[in-house]
Structure 1
Amino acid sequence: MVVEGTSVIEKTTKKERNKVLQYVMQNYLLYLFLLPAVLLTFVFKYVPMYGAVIAFKDYSPMKGIWGSDWVGLQHFQSFLTSPNFLDIFMNTLKLSFYGLVLGFPIPILLALMLNQVRRQRVKKNLQLILYAPNFISVVVITGMLFIFLSPNGMVNTMITLIMDKPVAFMTEPEYFRSVYILSGIWQAAGWSSIIYVAALANVDPQLHDAATIDGASLLQRIWHIDLPTLKPVMAVLFILAAGGIMAIGFEKAYLMQTDMNIPSSEILPTYVYKVGLQAGDYAYSTAIGLFNSVINLFLLIFVNFVVKRLNEGEGLY
């Protein structure tokens, strides 16, 4: 009986393999289109993982990765026990968390408002205005911030009409997070709303017509028709955003950083850059980067678990 059962299982497995192979052969063009993306992901995402070994070694460029001495968790212990670890970690966490909480709902609201615009010409012009900041370089955005928020800038010119003196937005540590987060929302909110706008395009207009006939107000139609349509997309994007909460951008924070706002602007990416590239301590900086990636991984798993429990089993995976 065991032999017969095993043979049945083998036959079933063979049939499934044949079906999969037949499907692949019939749709080989689709897999050819997918191949470049897979290769790029493998080359630029998986192959560099080989360099993570540096975090556990006393790396020397002369000896190479495998020729360097093994030190285990020494670099991690050094970072976790360093005097500035808590400040750098909390700066990164606060900047990412506040950016997620304040920035995540804005694209949804923009998409809902754009969906109510019936004139296509007006809608296209609004989309152009909202999407345009995404194509401005981070360097240009930072330069604009320094110009507009300088003591003699446009913003402080208006502030001095009310107050006695200008506000040092770009030098005082307490203003760094607000400027960073609000400028980031302005730059990315319009572009991030594209996915939600596309999802709302699949809503059957007859549902809104029927709800209007039944006496539903605009807010009721948005709540009962549009938001349920966006719910799966919102769940996936929130999981991805929360999973990368520690993977904050380096360029903008570094460009906005001054000697005066270091207490608030020094985050993990800028610290890794200074220690790794400027100071040449590659092993220590790799350990910090690996520590950051591990936290992102655990956050991704945890948030996905929570969202699946709250969203009737729908999550990222």
Structure 2
Amino acid sequence: MTSPHVIVLSLGGTIFMSQDASGAAAPGSRGPAAVAGIDAGAIEVRHREIANIGSPSIRPADLRTALDLAREAVDGGALGVVLSHGTDTLEESAFLLQRYWDREAPLVLTGAMRAADAPGADGPANLRDAVLAAAAPSARGLGVLVVMDAAAHLADRVTKLSSREVGAFGSEPGGPLAIVAPDDLHLLQGPLPRRGFVGGDLPRELPSVPVLALGIGDEAALLDAVPAGSLAGLVLIGSGMGHVPAAAMDRVRAHIAGGTAVVVATRTPRGGTSDRHYSYPGSEVDLQRAGAVMAGLLSAHKARLLLQVLLADGADASRLRAAFAEHAV
């Protein structure tokens, strides 16, 4: 019988970076030492490096490897798995992994806002808390979590709110799921029903789905450079409850008519899109009449990932609408 243990898989990120003489951080070799220094009481911590790169460079294939290794770890007796990750795209990876994570044991992502050798480095505490969360009894069945700054967040709600602050992560709406304590997660709210589960193997490549932000005076002329229907999917970042300029609607309709799945998100950080409040040209009602789908509470980049996953899984228009309806408000 193996001792109680948690596996730490690492993809790199600021948490394992070192600063040069100017104070700029870059990937270093601090991972093994940082993991070896974790004091999680009776929990043994084991480490395996997958990559050591900045998170903007992480690809679906890297996450497929992490998913496969995490499943292997818990099937081999690990209480849970921690995945170290750069903070820039951490919320995207957590969201994507949540579509496929199919074990009761938790998969916990963590990172740091300060390099490992920076004054006040936050990585050691985040790693320890992530290990504690991965072993916590209350974390079982919660799926993929993000642990930063002593708080645990659900993958579908967490977002990076600051490019600089140590307390950079929050959850919209509702705040964090729990506070991490040495004995367990102290839940602050009831876990949400699981949404958008796909299961199976995470594809090593996902369909290309561009994101286009539209603002005042924007007629979406960039879409003229792409033949209507040549895109599998498209995410539009609108304003307010999911609105685009009326002058853009002809181009949006043309792409939808050509077979492109169009999802509309909002640039506002709170409240999400609507499906009923406004019906003027370019509003959410007008967009839905044209065949677009509203992203609801999902940010544009999470909406993009959900659309990519569904398209990769062969989802038809009806299934797309149903999947995004689970995130509607």
Q: TM-score, normalised by structure 1?
A: 0.21
Structure in which a larger fraction of residues adopt strand: 2
Larger RCO, structures 1/2 (Cα 8 Å, 6+ apart): 1
Structure in which a larger fraction of residues adopt helix: 1
Q: TM-score, normalised by structure 2?
A: 0.20
Larger Rg: 1
